[in-house]
Structure 1
Amino acid sequence: MNWDAIGATGELIGAITVMVTLIYLVIQLKQNTRALKSSTFQQVSNVMAQNWEVIIANPDMAALFLKAASGLKALDEKERFLFGAIATMLFRRVETVYTQEALGAIDARLTAGFKQSCISSLSHAGMREWWQQSQAAFSSEFVLWVNKELEAGVQPIHMGIGR
C-alpha cells in the first residue's frame, strides 16, 4: 500500500469522524434546549402558582383584593400599600413570563394562560387604577404589551374578580 492511499484513507476516516461528532452535538444541543425549556416552564408555573398561594394562605389578602374591586379609594393607606405590593408581585412575575417568551426560553403556546390570567385581573377596577399609576415600574416592552391587551378589551376569567 502506498502512502497516498494511506493518507487518503486517514482523511476519509477523519471526515467521517467529524461528521458523526457534529451530528451527535446537534442531537445533544436539541435535547439540552428541550430540557432547558421544560425547566423554564416548570419554574414559571411554580412562580405563577405562588401568586394564588399568597391569597389562599391569607384570607385577609383575599378580602383586601375583593375590597379593592370598586377602586383604590375604598382602601386606607395601609391597604393601598399592601394591595400595590400584591399587584406588583403578580405583574412582575408575569413580566418575567413575558420576557422568557420574548427570549425564546419558553413556548408562547405555554404562556398564554398565565398572561391572560394577569390581563384579566385588569377588569378589576382597583387593579386597573394600580396599573395606571404603576406602569413606570415595568419594562417598556411589557407596558406596551399590557396596554395593547387592555385596548383589545379585558374579560374576567377568575371567579369573583372583575365586575
Structure 2
Amino acid sequence: MNWDAIGAIGETIGAAAVVISLLYLAVQIRGQNKQSRLSALHDMSRELREVTEIFATEDMTSIFVRANESYASITEPESVRLIIVITNFFRAWENAFLENRDGYLDTRVWAALSREYIRPMGAPSFQHIWKLRKQNYAADFCDYVDSLEKEEYITR
C-alpha cells in the first residue's frame, strides 16, 4: 500500500467522522429546541396562574368588582394595587406574546393561552389601566392588544 492510498483512506474516515458529528449535533439541537419550547410553555402557564391567583383573594376581588362598576369608587391606594396587579397581568401577556412571536410557543398553545388573556380585556378596569400604561409595552404587543375585539367580561 502506498502513502497516497493511506492518505485517501484517512481523508474518507475523517469526512465520515465530520458527517456523523454534524448529524449528532443536529439531533442535540432539535432536542434542545423542543426542551426550550416546553420550558417556555411552563413559564407562561406559571405566570398566568400567578397573576390570576391574585384576583382570587377577597380583597382584590372586591376592588376589581367595584372598579368595574365605577373606577372612581375605589380609593387611591386601591387604584395603585389594581394597577400593579393588572400591569403584571399585561407583562405576563406580553411575555407570552413575545415568546410566540419568536417561535418558542407552539401556535396552538398560543391560541389557547391568549384566550385567557383576551377575556379580561372586556372589563372596564382592564381597559382603563391599559390606556394608562400601554406606553410601557412593546409596540407590536400594543398593536396586537389594540386590534382585539373587546368582549363583555362576564362574571356570572
Q: C-alpha separation between the residues in 2 aligned to 1:40 and 1:156?
A: 30
Q: C-alpha separation between the residues in 2 aligned to 1:138 and 1:65?
A: 22
The answer to whether the 8 Å contact 2:52/2:89 transfers is: no
Classify the secondary structure of the residue corresponding to 1:106.
Answer: coil
Residue 34 of structure 2 is matched in structure 1 by 34
Deviation at 1:156, TM superposition (A): 4.7
The answer to whether the 8 Å contact 2:37/2:104 transfers is: yes
Residue 6 of structure 2 is matched in structure 1 by 6
The TM-score normalised by the length of structure 2 is 0.92
Matches within 5 A, 1:53-68: 53-56=53-56, 58-68=57-67
The answer to whether the 8 Å contact 1:98/1:142 transfers is: yes
Matched, 1:113 2:112: yes
Residue 80 of structure 1 is matched in structure 2 by 79
Q: Name the amino acid aligned to 2:13.
A: I
Residue 160 of structure 1 is matched in structure 2 by 155
Q: C-alpha separation between the residues in 2 aligned to 1:156 and 1:10?
A: 72
Question: Please, which runs of 5 or more residues in structure 1 have no aligned partner?
Answer: none
Q: Name the amino acid aligned to 1:155.
A: E
Q: Name the amino acid aligned to 1:154.
A: K
Cα displacement string for residues 82-130 of structure 1 (whole angstroms, at most 9, x for unaligned residues): 1111110100111111111122222232122332222221111121111
Instruction: Tell me: CA distance 1:122–1:134, structure 2 relative to 1, closer, same or farther (3 Å).
Output: same
Classify the secondary structure of the residue corresponding to 2:5.
Answer: helix
Equivalenced residues, count: 156
Residue 132 of structure 1 is matched in structure 2 by 131
Classify the secondary structure of the residue corresponding to 1:32.
Answer: helix
Q: C-alpha separation between the residues in 2 aligned to 1:74 and 1:127?
A: 15
Instruction: Tell me: CA distance 1:160–1:10, structure 2 relative to 1, closer, same or farther (3 Å).
Output: same
Deviation at 1:33, TM superposition (A): 0.7
Q: Name the amino acid aligned to 1:160.
A: T
Q: C-alpha separation between the residues in 2 aligned to 1:81 and 1:129?
A: 13
Classify the secondary structure of the residue corresponding to 1:154.
Answer: coil
- Coordinate RMSD, CA, aligned: 1.6
Q: C-alpha separation between the residues in 1 aligned to 2:111 and 2:48?
A: 12
The answer to whether the 8 Å contact 1:67/1:75 transfers is: yes
Compare 101-110 and 2-11 and name the one that shifted more: 101-110
Matched, 1:143 2:147: no
Deviation at 1:18, TM superposition (A): 0.7
Percent of aligned pairs sharing the same letter: 25
Q: C-alpha separation between the residues in 2 aligned to 1:49 and 1:99?
A: 18
Cα displacement string for residues 121-163 of structure 1 (whole angstroms, at most 9, x for unaligned residues): 11111211111122112121111110011xxx22257x518xx
Q: C-alpha separation between the residues in 2 aligned to 1:80 and 1:89?
A: 14
